């Protein structure tokens, strides 16, 4: 089993850390993992993306042509990566940032209104965890307990008190994701 995922959005949306938590969850599950970020000035304000691969076997290239799962959190990322979903793959987007959704019919498209949900939760930082929850609902690639273990591993200890909030956000994402 191999899952090739790209998460793309604006810098500051928590794209890289979401990928990191996913990678750590895979690590806790004993999978081979790779996490390849776009780095540098893109991290602040520009577009940022991260490729995460979870696999039962040794991972060849950390750089890919197309993906099993594409998560786009703004329109430029939608424009750039919509065509990179493998046929039969999954496209997930946040309804808030996207005004021009995909018209592809050979893939499964899901919408998760994470920006709205995060505002409702009065916690903009929950945004990326809500998206992650949505992903785990439609593609349960890692066990829930390993996600929590991955969270613990990727967060510095002083932030461990935020884990229950993150769990809630993941739960929320699982509830609100809808197939288009």
Partner 1 sequence: MAEDIKLMKGNEAIAHAAIRYGCDGYFGYPITPQSEIMETLMEVAPWETTGMVVLQAESEVAAINMVYGGAGCGKAVMTSSSSPGVSLKQEGISYLAGAELPALIVNVMRGGPGLGTIQPSQADYFQTVKGGGHGDYKLIALAPSSVQEMADFVKLGFDLAFKYNNPAIILADGIVGQMMEKVVLPEQQPRRTEEEVRKQCPWASLGKTSERKRNVITSLELDSAAMERNNIRFQAKYREIEENEVRYEEINCDGADYLLIAFGSSARICQKTIEIAAQEGVKLGLLRPITLWPFPTKEIKHRGNFVKGILVMELNAGQMVEDVRLAIEGAVPVEHYGRLGGIVPDPSEVWDAMKQKLNINICNKQIHNVPELETISEESMQEVISNLNKMTP
Enumerate binding residues for partner 1 (CB under 8 A): 20, 23-24, 27-28, 30, 32-37, 39-41, 59-65, 153
Q: Which is nearer to partner 1, 33 or 135 (CB)?
A: 33
Quote the least distance from Cβ 152 to partner 1, whole Å: 13
Quote the least distance from Cβ 49 to partner 1, whole Å: 13
Q: Which is nearer to partner 1, 1 or 122 (CB)?
A: 1
Quote the least distance from Cβ 26 to partner 1, whole Å: 9
Give 109-116's long-range contacts (Cβ < 8 A, gap of 24+).
109/179, 109/180, 110/134, 110/138, 110/177, 110/178, 110/179, 110/180, 111/177, 111/178, 111/180, 112/173, 112/176, 112/177, 112/178, 113/176, 114/73, 114/173, 114/176
Q: Which is nearer to partner 1, 69 or 117 (CB)?
A: 69
Q: Which is nearer to partner 1, 66 or 116 (CB)?
A: 66
CB distance 77 to 99 below 8 Å? no
């Amino acid at each position: 089993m191999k899952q090739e995922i790209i998460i793309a959005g604006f810098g500051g949306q928590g794209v890289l850390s979401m990928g990191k938590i996913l990678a750590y969850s895979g690590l806790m599950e004993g999978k081979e993992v790779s996490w390849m970020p776009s780095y540098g000035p893109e991290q602040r304000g520009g577009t940022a993306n991260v490729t995460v691969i979870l696999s039962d076997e040794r991972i060849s290239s950390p750089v890919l042509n197309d993906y099993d799962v594409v998560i786009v959190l703004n329109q430029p990322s939608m424009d750039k990566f919509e065509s990179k979903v493998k046929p039969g793959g999954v496209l997930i987007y946040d309804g808030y940032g996207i005004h021009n959704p995909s018209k592809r019919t050979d893939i499964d498209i899901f919408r998760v209104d994470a920006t709205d949900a995060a505002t409702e939760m009065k916690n903009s930082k929950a945004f990326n965890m809500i998206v992650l929850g949505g992903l785990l609902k439609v593609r349960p690639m890692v066990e829930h307990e390993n996600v929590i273990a991955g969270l613990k591993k990727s967060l510095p200890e002083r932030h461990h008190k935020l884990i229950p909030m993150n769990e809630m956000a993941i739960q929320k994402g699982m509830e609100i994701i809808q197939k288009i």
